[in-house]
Amino acid sequence: MLGQVVASGLAMGAIYALVALGYAFVWRTMNIVNFAAGEFLTFAAFIFVATFVNRLGLPFYLAAIFACVAMASLGAAFSRIVFARLQKERTIVAIIATVGFGLFLKEMARIIYGPQPLLNTGPFGFETINVGGISVTKQQLLVFAVVIVVMVLQYLVLRYTMIGKVMRAVAQDRETAQLMGIPVNAVLAGTFAYASVLSAIGGILLAPMFFVTTELGTLVGLKGFVAMIIGGFGSIPGAIIGGLILGLGENLAAFSISAPYKDAIAFVLLLVFLLVRPKGLIPEASADRA
């Protein structure tokens, strides 16, 4: 039983890690917190299930790719249209704009797709598989596989490709990057699009595990934020580790204390970290190289 609790905790944690990474990327390149991240996740789950799977009848993986592309475009457009105009304002204005856009997305999901929860069992249904004596759902394994692939790809891109280096340069010093002839606004939009894709992947992976409702991403978005704070504000490896710790911690605590307290436990964990280690496990400055 404990094995299952750990496995499902880590699977949930991997999703928090995706969302937390999105926060970290946006924070580092734009110095804002994108509070619409949870709603990007919700919206992605809806277009994935309702539009691409149910309406167009696309197979799971193809639908997933289309949903990611759609969310990337939405993220890039939001960044270009809204942030480009808010550059000269104080950052709090841009942050409030993300809150507003989040509400807009949530309402749009409700208006377009209706209030009924959607169910999508994914490619595996509720099949489980025995891994070393622990019964794990195939969906959980898919979550691990996807998140690991995303992390590895992201590392390789940031480290070894021009686009990755340019993203890092813009994050470190926008003005100087501009002096190198780098189209800074396009890079910012690209970064925001990537963060949107991370949220979208979270939504696509969650869809077969929960009912898709307009509330799907609200709590996950907040917990992703908590995960980033635990890991270290803006730190890339911190976001991953913070997500896993949070997912594992809340599941273990729910198991050993009481399940209804699960969400409360996540935020107690946040308070504990803020009191004991406010800079997080891996503060940004020392964690920049990953």
| Residues lying near other proteins in the complex (CB under 8 A) | 162, 165-166, 168-169, 172-173, 175-183, 288-289
Amino acid at 211: F
Nearer to other proteins, 90 or 289 (CB): 289
Residue 21: both structure tokens together: 């990474």
Min separation Cβ 147 and other proteins, Å: 25
Q: Is the CB of 3 or the CB of 183 nearer to other proteins? A: 183
For residues 118 and 121, give the distance between their C-alpha atoms in angstroms, rounded to a whole number.
Answer: 10
Q: Minimum Å distance from CB 93 to other proteins?
A: 22
Least distance in Å: CB of 210 to other proteins?
Answer: 38
DSSP tag of 145: H
Q: 96 or 290, CB closer to other proteins?
A: 290
The nearer residue to other proteins, 117 or 183, going by C-beta atoms, is 183
CB 216 within 8 A of CB 147: no
Element (H, E) at 122: none
* Beta strand segments in the chain, E: 128-131, 134-137
Between 88 and 130, name the residue whose CB sits nearer to other proteins: 88
Task: Classify 129 as helix, strand or coil.
Answer: strand
Q: Tell me how far, at minimum, the Cβ of 237 lies from other proteins, in Å.
A: 13
**Are 10 and 134 in contact, with CB atoms under 8 Å apart?**
no
Shortest separation between residue 177's beta carbon and other proteins, angstroms: 7
Q: Rounded to the nearest 5 degrees, what angle is found at the Cα of 257, between the Cα atoms of 255 and 259?
A: 55
- The least distance separating other proteins from the CB of residue 39, rounded to whole angstroms, comes to 32
* Residue with smaller CB distance to other proteins, 163 or 257: 163
- Asked if residue 204 lies in contact with residue 120, where contact means CB atoms within 8 angstroms, the answer is no
